[in-house]
Chains A and B, each alone.
Chain A
Amino acid sequence: MSDEQNSVKESSSRDIPIDVSRWGFPGSMNVSFKDDKDDLFDDSKVIINIGPTHPAMHGAFRCMAKLNGEVIESSYSEFGYTHRAKEKLGENRTYHQFIVYTDRLNYCSALINNVAYALSVERLMGIEVPTRATWIRMMAAEIARVTDHLICVGINAVDLGAFSFFLYGYQQRERAYTLIEKLCGARLTTSYTRIGGLMYDAPEGWEQEVKTWALKTREVIDEMDSLLTNNRIWHKRTKEVAIFNKEQCMKYSFTGPNARAAGIDLDLRRDQPVLFYDRVDFDVPTAQIGDVFDRYAVRIEEMRQSLSILIQCAEKIKKGPIWADDKRTRIPDKEVVHNTMEGMIHHFKFFMTGFDVPEGEAYTPFEAANGELGFYIVSRGGPKAHRMRIRGPSFWHYQGLDPMIKGAYVGDLVGALGSINVIAGELDR
């Protein structure tokens, strides 16, 4: 008996390469153990692999962690499983055609991406959109921000075990989808903005519907707040967990709610206002510690602020044109296209060859739901960009995950990842 035990022990000793596949792991988790001096074979150290398709990972990323008991000693993140080459496509598509690709960046708040992209190209071309279009863009961006935060806090709560919280939020999210559907006919991938204008005008009475929705959502958020914010279990799962303080946030270029949760008082809507953010009143909530709870609380408060912006917008918006008075980017009306030869040719040329953007370069930041979303466009003239760089906030946030969870419990990994709201489309681009 003792001999047998010895032989078993012998066979798993360090100098024999271990075939991981016989433990039933699929090949995707193949780990080749090369160095026999490292501590990977300590009995106290366990390597776990989470992802690329794990329910807790919110998309296709992978995290490998070395555990000592239940404490994460070191971890290592891997991504790129949804890399769709949007930057390369930006060099191969006209500025108009690229609008659809911006939807797929942060798909939880596609409208914000549309608005940010339209603003960047308009900035290169020196176009100003009319007042009504600007208000509608702003409302669209704020609706998208609320839906993004709803899904972020909802999923974060689901991961930590509070399922009904998620359903409260999701109900309002479905209603927001209905509003977005009324605006542009699509629920998720909206492609709503055009360079120099909007796809459609908002339908009659849409502003009032938004206002009604905002008032209702405010109640729901209060309800969600009372469900979770003072919940003792929630506190125990989130407070002082996965802390990322101010200095670390600066080192890792955190922006948006994640940075504000750590006390970096930076909101581009207030500090470098675009659209009409300087014409509405809103607060920028910040917290001090930068743990999971703070990130949750900042998002909850930000939703309230966004709703208040929406209500103010709904009161201030007036009827008017939605297209900039610029012949280069104006898509010809269907009536003209169908009835006149010139209109037909214009339409054909517009969609087949696109419009020229003057030579120049600009980096245009916009406060997206997750942080600073920037488009760095280098134009050398012509209808296609020379370089289309997308600065997605998730890329920088996800980088902070490894230092964030070092020394934390493995159960907190899930909460930490959910709280920084990494979106795969924006991360991999």
Chain B
Amino acid sequence: MSKDGSADFFTTKLDAFVSFARKNSLFPLPFGTSCCGIELMSTLASGYDMARFGAEVVRFSPRQSDLLICAGIVTQKMAPVLRNIYDQMADPKWVMSFGACASSGGIFNVYSVTQGIDTVIPVDVYVPGCPPAPEGVLNALLVLQDRIQRGDTFAQRREKASRQGLVV
């Protein structure tokens, strides 16, 4: 395509094009429960500005978002709520596990804490740190975008499998 838009076509695979569109218009749902929520806010606010990577429109309704950012601790009391929220999101959906608590329970290996949200919902990308620095979050977003482009996320694999008649 030329600069003035006169040449009218370019070739790509439909899958790749769809993935391209998806990866650059992520609608994050901030599921911020504790300390990491504050760092997530820093990432979204001026300074780090996640909008530069196409994940700018924060939606607080799970129905309208496709990237669940689970920032902070998920306790045994919260785990069913998290599952509910995940189930409400429309496919394809992605999950970012933000911080040590969400990824593995972190320093809180105690009775009330779920040891990692991957015991409750499938996770696509983990961000280490307690809490992760905003740079780390932006990196995780880029990694996730890359994986969405390759079709290498849980939701996309499940979509592909269901197209082939497999049940995941």
Answer yes or no: are A and B bound together in one complex: yes
Contacts of A424 in B (CB 8 A): 33-34
Contacts of B46 in A (CB 8 A): 167, 170-171, 174
Query: Is B17 engaged at the interface, CB distance under 8 Å to the other chain?
Result: no
By beta carbon, the residue of chain B nearest A169 is B45
Contact at B38–A52, with CB atoms within 8 Å? no
Q: Which A residue's beta carbon lies closest to that of B37? A: A59
Q: Are A104 and B81 in contact (CB under 8 A)?
A: no
Interface residues on A, range: 35 or more
B112 touches A53 (CB 8 A): no
B130 at interface by CB-CB < 8 Å: yes
A103 and B34 alpha carbons, distance in the complex (Å): 12
A84 engages B88 (CB within 8 Å): no
Q: Is the CB of A104 within 8 A of B112?
A: no
B38 touches which of A85, A89, A171, A188 (Cβ 8 Å): A188
B51 within 8 A of A: no
Q: How far is the CA of A27 from the CA of B82 in the complex (A)?
A: 11
Please determine whether A174 and B42 come into contact, CB atoms closer than 8 angstroms: yes
Interface residues of B in 72-97 (CB under 8 A from A): 72-73, 75, 77-78, 80-81, 84-85, 87-88
Q: Which of B103-111, B118-126, B145-153, B158-166 contacts A (4 or more CB under 8 A)?
A: B103-111
Q: Which residues 64-90 of A have a CB within 8 angstroms of B?
A: 80-85, 88-89
Interface residues of B, count at CB 8 A: 34
In the complex, whether B32 has a CB less than 8 A from a CB of chain A is: yes
| Contacting residue for A26 out of B37, B84, B111, B112, CB 8 A | B84
Is residue A100 within 8 Å, beta carbon to beta carbon, of the partner chain?
yes
Q: Is B133 an interface residue (CB 8 A)?
A: yes
Q: Mark B51-88, 1 if CB is under 8 A from A, else 0.
A: 00000000010000000000011010110110011011
- Whether B47 contacts A59 by the Cβ 8 Å rule is no
Question: In the complex, which residues of chain B have a beta carbon less than 8 angstroms from the beta carbon of A170?
Answer: 42, 45-47
Q: Which of A26, A59, A151 contacts B33 (CB 8 A)?
A: A59
CA distance A81 to B72 in the complex (A): 11
* Interface residues of B, Cβ cutoff 8 Å to A: 30-35, 37-39, 42, 45-47, 60, 72-73, 75, 77-78, 80-81, 84-85, 87-88, 107-108, 110-113, 130-131, 133
Top 5 nearest A-B pairs (CB, nearest first) are: A107-B35, A26-B84, A85-B110, A55-B60, A60-B33
